[in-house]
């Protein structure tokens, strides 16, 4: 088991940790600020440093249970089991993913009631696929997204049980992928106030604390991917 520090604070950039296991698939720590690839969001990259050594981390990926595999370059020398390391993420990369991921939540908010059929978060661009026949114009959607981002809405989360989620099926926007239920609890991410959220849905990713941190969103493309499947691609301007 790895303590996932980003769940409590997505702004943690580094942490001291103990090496639990080392293998060809990666290094497992007892705690980590690294987000492991999941839900369309890439895993974090960065470095591990210890007394007498240092190595880069190519990407963090999921292991068994809540274990995080810190994948090293092929020829890297890993830290010894039991050693204390400083695990540091590539913050510029992570923060961009946090902005992108939150922007995709706003994209869901701008298209209420529309199911999501797929998605991908990238450093250069991100996209969501929606089950809808007649999308709004690119210009109207972009204006709505930027109004939401500029509104400075707080982003927060809380945990609910699987039974609570079953009682509120409309919270799940993804049509093909259900939120993980292995631990019996599901993390809900909320944008806006609790009594009138702009967006509320299960999500295990990392997000900014306020929508104003996203910056300007550009809708670059709206494509038809089937009779009722529409792909919306976005990019973010530098801040």
The 10s digit of each residue's pLDDT in 110-159 is 999 999 999 999 999 999 999 998 889 999 999 999 999 999 999 999 99
- As a whole number, the mean pLDDT across the chain is 94
Residue 231, pLDDT score? 96
Q: Is the pLDDT of residue 177 over 90?
A: no
Residue 155 near residue 189 (C-beta atoms within 8 A): yes
Same fold, 3-89 and 94-236: no
Give the pLDDT mean for 1-8: 93
Long-range pairs, 20-26, Cβ under 8 A, ≥24: 20/81, 21/81, 22/78, 22/79, 22/80, 22/81, 25/61, 25/63, 25/69, 25/71, 26/61, 26/63, 26/69, 26/70, 26/71, 26/72
Residue 43 pairs in a beta bridge with none
Distances in Å between the Cα of 129 and the Cα atoms of 92, 122, 141, 211, 226 are 26, 14, 14, 22, 10
Q: What is the domain partition of the chain in residue ranges?
A: 3-89, 94-236
Q: Which CATH number fits domain 94-236: 3.20.20.210, 1.10.8.50, 3.30.980.10, 3.40.1280.10?
A: 3.30.980.10
Tens-digit pLDDT profile for residues 185-209? 899 999 999 999 999 999 999 999 9
Contact 197, 177 (CB under 8 A): no
What's the CATH fold of domain 3-89? Elongation Factor Tu (Ef-tu); domain 3 (2.40.30)
pLDDT digits (tens, 9 = 90+) for 30-71: 999 999 999 899 999 999 999 999 999 999 999 988 899 999
Helix axes 91-110, 138-150, angle to 10 degrees: 120
Strands across the sheet containing 126-131: 116-120, 126-131, 229-236, 217-224
Look at 177 and 93; give whichever has higher pLDDT.
Answer: 93
How confident is the model at residue 77, as a pLDDT? 96
Band (174; pLDDT cuts 50, 70, 90): confident
pLDDT at 181: 67
Q: Smallest Cα–Cα separation from 199: which of 144, 131, 138, 126?
A: 144
């Amino acid at each position: 088991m790895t303590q996932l520090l980003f769940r409590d604070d997505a702004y943690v950039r580094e942490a001291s940790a103990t090496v639990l296991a080392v293998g060809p698939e990666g290094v497992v720590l007892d705690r980590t600020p690294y987000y492991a690839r999941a839900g369309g969001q890439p895993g974090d990259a960065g470095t591990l440093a210890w007394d007498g050594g240092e190595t880069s981390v190519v990407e963090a990926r999921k292991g068994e249970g809540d274990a995080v595999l810190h994948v090293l370059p092929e020829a890297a020398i890993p830290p010894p089991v039991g050693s204390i390391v400083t695990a540091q993420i590539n913050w510029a990369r992570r923060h961009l993913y946090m902005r992108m991921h939150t922007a995709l939540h706003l994209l869901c908010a701008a298209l209420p009631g529309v199911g999501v059929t797929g998605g991908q978060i990238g450093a250069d661009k991100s996209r969501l696929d929606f089950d809808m026949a007649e999308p709004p114009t690119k210009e109207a959607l972009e204006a709505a997204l930027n109004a939401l981002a500029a509104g400075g809405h707080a982003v927060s989360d809380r945990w609910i049980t699987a039974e609570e989620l079953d009682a509120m099926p409309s919270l799940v926007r993804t049509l093909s992928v259900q939120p993980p239920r292995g631990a019996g609890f599901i993390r809900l991410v909320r944008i806006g106030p609790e009594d009138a959220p702009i967006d509320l849905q299960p999500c295990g990713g990392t997000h900014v604390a306020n929508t104003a941190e996203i910056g300007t969103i550009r809708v670059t493309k709206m494509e038809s991917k089937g009779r009722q499947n529409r792909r919306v691609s976005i990019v973010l301007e530098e801040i």
